[in-house]
Amino acid sequence: MKAARVASGPSESDDGERREPHESFSFLLLPRRRRRLASLASDRVGCASRPATFDPQVWHPFASMRPRLERIRHVATASPDVSDAGTKPSTYRERRPPEPLSGVVECLWRRERWRAPTRDLGVLPDGRVDVTWASDGTIVVIGPQSRALMRPLPEDVVVVGVRFWPGDGPRLLGVPAHELANLHVSLEAIDARPAMALCRDLAAIEDPRNASMRVADAVARRLNASKLSSTDVVVRRAAALLGNSEARIEQIAKALSLSERQLQRRFREAVGYGPKTLQRVLRFQRLLEALWHGSEHAGGFASIAAAIGYADQAHLTRETRALSGLSPLRLERNLAMLGNEGARGIFKTGGLTRGGAYTHPTRTT
């Protein structure tokens, strides 16, 4: 009997009005999974009394694999990616996926061991799902977010991630996207056969030096096994139209020959939340791209607001606080600190491969 999972998070009514997110998650799971998944759910960022990362010793999903994980840590320590001498490498890098994966995977990324210059910036929403492998053996799924969440992994490990286009990650894992919304959860805790198969493939990786290639290979095997040849074309087209901040949900639904209710259901299943929320998230990612260039250079926050689709500066400020937990000025300063550390784009602060836009490649299959 399969487990049923229900995540209570930000949602939208049928008329497009946004509802306030619940402060807790409700799960209907098999008893052996329920406590584990609930304990892995990240809470809001900004609470000074809580750590910015989880302790892997407390929630490690592979407790029975400790001896092999110790070998992994030894290899990670000896990895040449982080050098104590010479020039300092980039802390965070993104690269485009191999061509066979480009229709499903947006990018592959790698984060080296580092010490974050700021503690009040969490992982920001971007409408995507990531699967991450860490050099201590931890494998985490970063679900689609509608608010900032605490960082799921410690700073003293190498992290390799794969980021999927909206609608593709949950299908590859075999779960509806809304079950992952606003969650950072162990891949092992997802009770679906495709997710378990991917978890076995990723758990076999030991050397951080070739982890990116091994992660891409694991995703390719799952992609071939699942025969996932295409995404939901309707969701893909709608997501592209939502890149325009002036687009109205009812107009998009009409253009796709759907009712608004049908469009809402398709998005909840594939993306994790409604189209209006995705539109807000995509606009926020465009704001991050503008802030990387500096608000003074862009003519101030009022000019940025007008350029990317906010009603005014007050609207920009409200949305920034709702999606990041920070004021625009504080967010801009944090981005500057990340840039100085060679970590532009980390924590989903504006993808280097896309500049915040939804530009899904044309499929040939």
Domains of the chain, first to last: 11-226 (no CATH), 233-348 (1.10.10.60)
> What's the pLDDT at 225?
85
Nearest alpha-carbon partner for 61 in 157, 138, 150: 138
Report residue 320 as tokens.
């920034």
> Phi/psi at 259 (nearest 5 deg)?
-80, 160
Nearest alpha-carbon partner for 334 in 156, 342, 326, 352: 326
Please tell me the distance from the alpha carbon of residue 102 to that of residue 219, in angstroms, as a whole number: 11
Buried b (16+ CB within 10 A) or exposed e, 300-309: ebeebbeebb
pLDDT in tens, 10-39: 444 444 444 443 333 333 343 444 344 545
Please tell me the distance from the alpha carbon of residue 125 to that of residue 149, in angstroms, as a whole number: 8
pLDDT in tens, 59-75: 334 444 444 444 444 44
pTM: 0.75
Q: Which residue has the tokens 């971007």?
A: 126
Nearest alpha-carbon partner for 121 in 307, 341, 354, 301: 341
Q: Which residue has the tokens 């990324």?
A: 109
> What's the pLDDT at 295?
77
> What's the pLDDT at 32?
46
Q: Among the residues of the chain, which ranges form H helices? A: 31-40, 56-59, 66-77, 169-173, 193-203, 211-226, 233-241, 249-255, 260-270, 275-292, 301-308, 313-324, 328-340
> What's the pLDDT at 229?
52
Please tell me the distance from the alpha carbon of residue 188 to that of residue 32, in angstroms, as a whole number: 12
Nearest alpha-carbon partner for 38 in 78, 63, 12, 8: 8
**Per-block mean pLDDT, blocks of 10 residues, the chain (365 long):** 43 44 36 46 36 38 42 40 45 93 94 90 95 97 96 94 94 95 96 95 95 96 77 88 93 95 96 97 95 82 94 97 96 94 92 50 41
Strand order in the sheet with 139-142: 92-95, 105-111, 159-164, 129-134, 139-142, 184-186
Is-contact 253 259, C-beta < 8 A?
A: yes
Tell me if residue 21 falls in helix, strand or coil.
coil
Burial class (CB in 10 A: 0-12, 13-18, 19+), 362: exposed
Report residue 69 as tokens.
């994980």
Please tell me the distance from the alpha carbon of residue 329 to that of residue 334, in angstroms, as a whole number: 9
